[in-house]
Amino acid sequence: MSVELDVFVGNTTIMDEEVYQLWLDGYTVNDAVKVRMEGGVMDECEASKDVLLSDTMDQYRTFQMCERLLHSPAKLANQLLFQIPPHRQIMLIERYYAFDDTFVREVLGKKLSKGTKKDLDDISAKTSVTLKSCRRQFDNFKRVFKVVEELKGPLVENIRQHFLLSDKLARDYAAIVFFANNRFETGKRKLQYLSFQDFAFCAGQLISNWTVGAVDNMVEDMDVDLDKEFLQELKELKILITDKDLLDQHKSLVCTALRGKTKVFIEMEGSFKNLSRGLINIAAKLTNTKDVRDFFIDLVEKFIEPCRSDRWSAADMKLYLTHYTNSAHILDTFK
């Protein structure tokens, strides 16, 4: 009885980046072979379908054996089983931890638990990201969260050092960890126009200015937890809307600064008090966990939507908020 064996002997581990991406995207071996054939790889190599199938299976096995090392990327550089050049190691790690914006948008702000993992079937169907890829991405988010949640020091730097990610990807993961920890609501219909990168930018601003790490850069959870003392101090801003004289003074200062600088000045002047009440009330309630979760939906409903209905541009919004902040500093109460 004869047995046919495919034997490959080599030193440097051969990895095809296209096949690696197909594996990451959750393609089966047969589907990956089909994609490679459609891409013309057989014409380039003059190989048969059996050889292509054998090569794809071999590479899939290699990736599966490497996967446990990719869970702790630092181990990849120190292991002896696979001879992988440094530049190729960087590629393997970066792509393994890359994620689809459409997928992360669906889980952003949710608890990284078994309950959310059960919803991955539905998310896969909604986003057209394969279930296998959804699971890989979700498990990566959970893994990073668990490793960095108790570490001291800056969140982005901790992620970069422990998972050897690029600065951009480390910042994106910092945003995911920050949103998961604070459970910000991002799934409501009124927030659907916001992309993951929109929220990632907001996370960067909040981490830099509103977290414990903005005050003390060597504490646990420094860039993950909002500074409770700071949130408590925000309540003092209520005097800007409860004191009628102060409200009128603030409006006068802001409107004087804005006059002649925008086409929507009349709308700004007319809606000043309502907008100011909206902003201050949002700020004053952030000591409550539920109000922290609703932070973005509250901003959209009480500030962004009224401005949008009055046809403010992004430049108008920036101008208004700049003078709103600067004018408050001039008031005797805040000097």
Would you state the pLDDT for residue 107? 96
Contact 228, 287 (CB under 8 A): yes
Q: Which of the pair, 285 or 214, is modelled with greater confidence?
A: 285
pLDDT digits (tens, 9 = 90+) for 230-289: 999 999 999 999 999 999 999 999 999 999 999 999 999 999 999 999 999 999 999 999
Could you give the C-alpha distances from 23 to 29, 94, 112, in angstroms and in order?
8, 14, 24
Q: Nearest to residue 294, comparing CAs of 183, 181, 212?
A: 183
Q: Read off the amino acid at residue 115.
A: G
> What average pLDDT score do residues 322-329 get?
94
Would you state the pLDDT for residue 93? 97
Would you state the pLDDT for residue 222? 61
Would you state the pLDDT for residue 333? 83
Tokens of 67: 């996967």
- In the chain, the percentage of residues whose pLDDT exceeds 90 is 78
pTM: 0.89
Q: Read off the amino acid at residue 287.
A: T
The chain-wide mean pLDDT, for the chain, equals: 91
> What average pLDDT score do residues 163-176 get?
97
Q: Within 10 Å of residue 325's Cβ, how many Cβ atoms?
A: 10
Helices (H), 149-264: 155-163, 167-182, 196-210, 228-233, 239-242, 244-258
Q: Nearest to residue 163, comparing CAs of 219, 13, 151, 81?
A: 151
Residue 322 scores a pLDDT above 90? yes
